[in-house]
Amino acid sequence: MKKIITASILIAGVAIAGALYSQKDAIKDSTVGKQQTMCPVMGGEVDKKVFVDYRGKRVYFCCTSCVEEFNKKPEKYMNKMRKEGVVPENSPGDAKVPKRANHKGNRH
The pLDDT value recorded for residue 96 is 45
The pLDDT value recorded for residue 12 is 61
Q: Which helix (H) or strand (E) holds 101?
A: none
CA geometry: angle 42, 48, 50, nearest 5 deg? 60
The pLDDT value recorded for residue 3 is 75
User: What is the Cα–Cα distance from 19 to 80, expressed in whole angstroms?
Assistant: 33
User: What is the Cα–Cα distance from 108 to 98, expressed in whole angstroms?
Assistant: 19
User: What is the Cα–Cα distance from 84 to 1, expressed in whole angstroms?
Assistant: 56
pLDDT < 70 regions, the chain: 6-8, 10, 12-32, 94-108
The CA–CA distances, whole Å, from 105 to 50, 99, 108 equal: 37, 18, 9
Q: 42 - beta bridge partners?
A: none
